[in-house]
Amino acid sequence: MRNRLTLFCFIVTLLFQHTLFAQCLDAVLLNQKTSVALKKNNLSRISSFEILINNRHGEEYTEVTIPFSSLLKVTNIKAYIKDKNGEIVKKLKKSDISERSSFSSGTFYEDEFVKEFKLKHNVYPYTLFYEYEESEDQFLYVAHWVPILDLDIPTLNAELEVLAEKDIELTYKNSFVSSFSRDSIDDEYRYRWKTNYDGSMENEVFAPPLLDHVPSVQVVPQKFKFEIKGSFDSWETYGSWQDELIASLFDIPDNEVKTIENLINGIEDEKAVIKTIYQYVQNETRYINISLETGGLKPYPASYVSQNHYGDCKALSIYFMALLKSFGIECFYAKLAAGDPIEEVDHSLPSMQSNHIVVCVPVKNDTLWLDCTSDNPFEYIGTFIQNREAFVINGEKSHFSRIPALTKEQVLCERHVNLEHVTRNECKTEFFNTYRGEDFELLHNLISSTNENDNLEIVREHLIADGFEPIEIINHRAKQDSLKAELSYSAKSNGLYEKYGSDMIIRLLPFEISSFDSPSKRVLPVQIDYPIYNKDELNYKIPAGYIANNIPEHKSIESKYGSFSTRTEQVDDHFKIRKTFLLNSGKYPISEYQAFYSFINEIVEFENKFYITLSKKSL
């Protein structure tokens, strides 16, 4: 009897703690289940969610969005709300569900939409339950399951179940899954994954891909039919399918070939010919998302772009390749996961792991990687595609090749700043900035934009130094081939010159270094995809009638994570301060975070504590 009573008390205590834990959060995903039934080329998927809403902040999870398209049908949407006593108090009506395009802009012709609804209650806590069914007859994924609502929202119970006929071969990969089983039911196999998630992740600065650190399951068919039959038996068979899918798309009108022929007439160097054709594509077309055809996977033909002068990354790449092929230049369709943070390819799971297309062009002693959606200079490998593997499509010879990484010289940003005291704590400044890398790409694209007011707003938000109020901004237009962009502006600021009675303090204009959590709070490793390299030359004018009491010593910090240096000297009536900061690209495990943080923190503390004191000259 005593043992039973002890067990009962233990269970009650656990339930009480669980309830308190759940109610202190904005929301909790209590249960999530996805059931997939796969027969031949037909797939149906039923997904259900049970979400505890504790307060108004949790109501964002009562706004439900469900994607659909002509290939992905969504039916049987059901939803209801239970109050804290478990009674159903509200049900979803058909009229509550609306439909809209999934793209707000940038899409001319598209076939991707969402069904959406909002169902909430006015007494907390309450539980939202909703369920819907999806069906597909052409697909490359059986499941791409990530059973979380948000990084800071726990998932208490989640289950994925896949029922597939025994002659259907599946490949799967799971991460952070607590249990997996496969059993036989008549002529089917049943695959089951179960997991949970504690909601402890955050969007930390320079974090690796978050999907690498939360529960997920990916299931792909070994054989598939997506317009034409294909196979994920190997990367080579996948490449053969993609090659066949695009083989008939390189048709280009004769008059356009003649136009290119006139442009390259007299140019003998192959790279110069490629550059001329690439810049022709940049000047004559524009990027527009087009999500029709085979689920947005099959490009429009080159003739379509030739006629309309726009296309998405796939169509523009096909168009550029068609022009190159017309003049006997070898080139390849290349698929990659663009953007940041860089997502490494999982070679153990042949599947579609890309979101972007570029053109790979082998030339003598080099390989060009050309992004036809970009306005960047020829041969410039931007931050969007640099330092990652691309899947180069060449039939059975399809293979991976790594796009080169940006070097520190290619991302160097420089500031030349003149500062002069005006009144008490205010100073006026003149900035002459040179940008490379990400900021160059931003400014380069702004220069080619026609909306000047929007451009100035973006410049103010992203490129004006923190704490400065701009007075005049001059955007210097660079040549099309330039690998740097320049911006100058005058501004005013408080705090760099500070008066204390008859004395004055000059403070350092710091580098804008990302703020990192302390080691006790950091959860994820650090991933820096390309170097951050900054140089400053700061010229502080000494106010008339003042002399310096101190000149700070030179400072140098060296680490595997980067370097920092500063040098100060007085030249006539100015202090000239030269600074450099380099943060190396790399992946640093959480076990190294203390050392990484110490390197960053030493720099930040030095800059914050740097000052020069001035006193009035004696008469």
For 18-49, what is each residue's pLDDT tens digit? 444 556 799 999 999 999 999 877 999 999 99
pLDDT tier for residue 101 given thresholds of 50, 70 and 90: confident
CA dihedral 386, 389, 394, 398 (to 10 degrees): 170
Beta bridge partners of 53: 27, 126
pLDDT digits (tens, 9 = 90+) for 392-447: 999 999 999 999 999 999 999 999 999 999 888 889 999 999 999 999 998 887 76
pLDDT confidence of residue 471: 86
Domain segments of the chain: what residues? Answer: 25-221, 230-402, 409-616
Taking the C-alpha atoms of residue 550 and residue 542, their distance in angstroms, rounded to an integer, is: 13
Question: Cβ distance 267 to 276 under 8 Å?
Answer: yes
286 band by pLDDT with thresholds 50, 70 and 90: confident
Structure tokens at 30: 């209590």
Bond before 377 cis per omega within 30 degrees:
no
Q: What pLDDT does 6 receive?
A: 45
**SS3 (DSSP) at 410:** helix
Instruction: Tell me how long the chain is.
Output: 619
For the record, the structure tokens of 516 come out as 């990192």
Top pLDDT among 126 and 210 is at 126
Question: What topology does CATH give the domain 25-221?
Answer: Immunoglobulin-like (2.60.40)
The amino acid at 247: A
Q: Which CATH class is domain 409-616?
A: mainly beta
Tell me which of 319-323, 351-355, 497-501 is least confident.
497-501
Q: Which two tokens stand for residue 607?
A: 């800059």
Question: Confidence class of residue 454 from pLDDT cuts 50, 70 and 90?
Answer: low
Dist CA 313 CA 300 (whole Å): 10
The residues facing 231 across adjacent strands are 223
The CATH code belonging to domain 230-402 is 3.10.620.30
Span between the terminal Cα atoms of the chain, in Å? 96
**pLDDT tens digits for range 42-91:** 999 999 999 999 999 999 999 999 999 888 999 999 999 999 999 999 99
- For the entire predicted model, the pTM comes to 0.90
Distance CA 309, CA 419 (A): 48
Tens-digit pLDDT profile for residues 541-581: 999 999 999 989 899 999 999 999 999 999 999 999 999 99
pLDDT-derived band of residue 350, with 50, 70 and 90 as boundaries?
very high
- Chain mean pLDDT for the chain: 90
- 448 phi/psi in degrees, rounded to 5: -80, -5
Q: Angle CA(222)–CA(227)–CA(233) in degrees, nearest 5?
A: 20
Which pLDDT value is given to residue 112?
Answer: 74
Which positions ≥6 away from 279 have C-beta within 8 Å? Answer: 378, 480
Q: Is the pLDDT of residue 289 over 80?
A: no
